[in-house]
Amino acid sequence: MSDHSQPPARVLVAKSSLDGHWRGVAVVSRALREAGFEVILGGMLRPSEIASVAAAEDVDLVGINVGGRVEVVERALDEMESAGVGDIPVFVGGTVPPQAIPRLTGRGVEVFPPGSSLGAIVDSARRLTGRNIPTGGLS
């Protein structure tokens, strides 16, 4: 249930790779904002920076754009645990190798490869944060 006295859920959106393709990040960030989330754009962050920014910004959800190997995302998850923010839910999108998806879902990460619907991504953000859930058509 949405609670209008609550501030919007905060989502950190970052790229784990050093590959500058921004198109997917832009489209997803816009969809999250339109659904009432507050999006903090991290840009290209190292795994340790993803953890430190997530902690410093006190976010409710971390979204990682993957343009490389899954090991780098796993390192970000490890760093988040070390930084004491391992309980913040994580979802990822981008060119995740299909054979590597189980490694991420096995750690509770939701994965949205290219072609995923924005509706499904927003639903996932709502489910993972328990916030911004529309009631009677309003969010």
Strand order across the beta sheet in which 10-15 lies: 38-44, 10-15, 61-66, 90-94, 110-112
How far apart are CB 115 and other proteins at their closest, in Å? 4
DSSP lists the bridge partners of residue 61 as 11
Residue 41 neighbours by CB under 8 Å, 6+ apart: 13, 14, 25, 29
Which of 84, 102, 108, 119 contacts other proteins by CB under 8 A? 119
52 belongs to the binding site for other proteins (CB under 8 A):
no
Q: Does 136 bind other proteins (CB under 8 A)?
A: no
- Interface residue with other proteins among 5, 23, 87, 106 (CB under 8 A) is 23
Site for other proteins in 74-113 (CB under 8 A): 75, 95-100, 113
